[in-house]
């Protein structure tokens, strides 16, 4: 493969949400969408997204633009598209922090690089099954290294047939709300085909009673998760989780019950409850993950590209977690289908128990419109990755359909009809 990166471009827009997104730390009715476009010497484009929020990622559209068009462009402009093995590390050396900006640039270049090879991004990351433009992938050698170099063991077969979609299961999030609204929204999501519901808690409501009521309403077969977004102290977290355990709520996991930097507190909660604890805000880097492992502070970790700084770091952290018996959920910020597409490609590339896990990739369903044409589409509780090269994104869409190539793709009924 030949070709180089000619330039990086930054695209900004504001996307209304279909209903308010409410957590213990913020409420959002619309989100800024910041896309990075990598253009090669033929004019072809690759795409990435920088999820921005001063309170969550510590970045803004202005800071992303400055980093991308400054030091990060210095790293990639003129870079050969087959020189991706150290891309993530090179971007990390160019700036301090700025993880979302680095991730957007790395994803855009990896998208472009994979497409030049005729591979989907998922296949380039080592995902099994279909992954080639025009045909099914043939796995004839070992998987991709953690440095996310492009695979060399996949070739386009002679019989060019339309490949099936690679699919990743996702939960769907229910915002913090009154018990009545929470139950109504969750029931509609179940009717739409979702089997895993993630509930935002810790925003001041009666979380104990709400989860008991929700379990009674949806029945025993629906998987329930809760996310406290750092809202509780140790004693409060232990008391609430033990209440749910005694009441038979049967949660799959509790996400980030205490403050991000309170790893001792996180470990104390983990040690005192039977419900698995998932670390999210506590883990941004490999060093953070090593500390969680050392302290046995959580049984699972939520990896988000906007936190890790990109695909290479996230892959490395997933492998570190797997070696130490820590489960991986691939998550997303409140971002568009562009960022979710890269995260879904990462999720599709995982092995072991994580390959079959339900991930946390519903953010594309919260936007009223998608900023691009092509890419992923949602099919009930599944994210269907495009079978076209790279991420399968055709370019900016204006105010087109929500996601994917099919203009008939519609929102789940709960996103359309249930009041916040």
User: Does an H or E element contain 111, and which?
Assistant: helix 99-116
Query: Which is catalytic among the residues 189, 200, 307, 377?
Result: 200
Q: Tell me what pLDDT residue 25 has.
A: 64
The stretch 95-118 carries a mean pLDDT of 97
The token duo for 143 is 């998987």
The stretch 85-108 carries a mean pLDDT of 97
Residue 200 appears among annotated catalytic residues = yes
User: pLDDT tens across 180-231, in order?
Assistant: 999 999 999 999 999 999 999 988 889 999 999 999 999 999 999 999 999 9
Task: For residue 342, give Cα distances in angstroms to 47, 231, 257.
Answer: 9, 29, 27
Residue 198 appears among annotated catalytic residues = no
382-385 β-sheet, strand order: 166-169, 382-385, 377-379
Distant-in-sequence, close-in-space partners of 150: CB < 8 Å, separation ≥ 6: 1, 82, 84, 113, 114, 117, 119, 124, 144
| Domains, the chain | 5-117 (3.30.390.10), 166-417 (3.20.20.120)
Least confident of 16-30, 80-94, 309-323, 346-360: 16-30
Query: Which is catalytic among the residues 189, 198, 225, 304?
Result: 304
User: pLDDT tens across 121-134, in order?
Assistant: 999 999 876 543 33
As a whole-number percent, the residues of the chain with pLDDT over 70 amount to 85
Cα separation, 200 vs 321, whole angstroms: 25
Q: Tell me what pLDDT residue 149 has.
A: 36
Q: Tell me what pLDDT residue 164 has.
A: 56
The token duo for 103 is 């991730």
Q: Give the bridge partners for 393, in sequence order.
A: 374
* CA angle, 290 then 295 then 296, to 5°: 95
């Amino acid at each position: 493969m030949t070709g180089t990166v000619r330039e990086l471009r930054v695209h900004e827009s504001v996307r209304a949400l279909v209903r308010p997104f409410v957590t213990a730390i913020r409420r959002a009715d619309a989100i800024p969408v910041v896309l990075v476009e990598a253009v090669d010497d033929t004019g072809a484009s690759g795409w990435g997204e920088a999820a921005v929020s001063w309170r969550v990622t510590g970045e803004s559209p202005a800071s992303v633009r400055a980093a991308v068009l400054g030091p990060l462009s210095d790293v990639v402009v003129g870079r050969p598209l087959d020189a991706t093995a150290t891309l993530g590390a090179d971007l990390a050396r160019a700036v301090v922090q700025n993880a979302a900006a680095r991730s957007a640039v790395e994803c855009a270049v990896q998208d472009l690089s994979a497409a030049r090879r005729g591979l989907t991004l998922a296949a380039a990351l080592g995902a099994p099954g279909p992954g080639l433009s025009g045909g099914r992938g043939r796995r004839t050698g070992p998987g991709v290294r953690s440095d996310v170099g492009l695979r060399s063991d996949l070739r386009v077969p002679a019989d060019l047939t339309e490949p099936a979609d690679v699919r990743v299961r996702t939960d769907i999030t229910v915002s913090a709300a009154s018990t009545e609204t929470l139950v109504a929204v969750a029931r509609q999501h179940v009717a739409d085909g979702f089997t895993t519901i993630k509930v935002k808690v810790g925003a001041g409501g009666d979380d104990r009673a709400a989860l008991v009521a929700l379990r009674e309403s949806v029945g025993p077969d629906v998987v329930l998760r809760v996310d406290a977004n750092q809202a509780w102290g140790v004693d409060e977290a232990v008391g609430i989780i033990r209440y749910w355990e005694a009441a038979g709520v049967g949660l799959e996991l509790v996400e980030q019950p205490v403050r991000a930097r309170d790893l001792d507190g996180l470990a104390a909660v983990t040690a005192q409850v039977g419900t698995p604890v998932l670390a999210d805000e506590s883990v941004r880097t490999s060093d953070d993950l090593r500390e969680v492992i050392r302290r046995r502070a959580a049984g699972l970790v939520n990896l988000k590209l906007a936190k890790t700084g990109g695909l290479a770091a996230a892959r490395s952290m997933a492998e570190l977690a797997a070696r130490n018996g820590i489960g991986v959920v691939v998550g997303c910020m409140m971002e568009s289908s562009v960022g979710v597409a890269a995260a879904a490609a990462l999720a599709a590339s995982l092995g072991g128990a994580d390959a079959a896990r339900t991930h946390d990739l519903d953010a594309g369903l919260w936007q009223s419109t998608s900023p691009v044409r092509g890419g992923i589409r949602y099919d009930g509780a599944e994210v269907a990755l495009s079978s076209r090269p790279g991420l399968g994104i055709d370019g900016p869409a204006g105010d087109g359909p929500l996601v994917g190539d099919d203009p008939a793709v519609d929102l789940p009924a709960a996103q359309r009809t249930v009041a916040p």
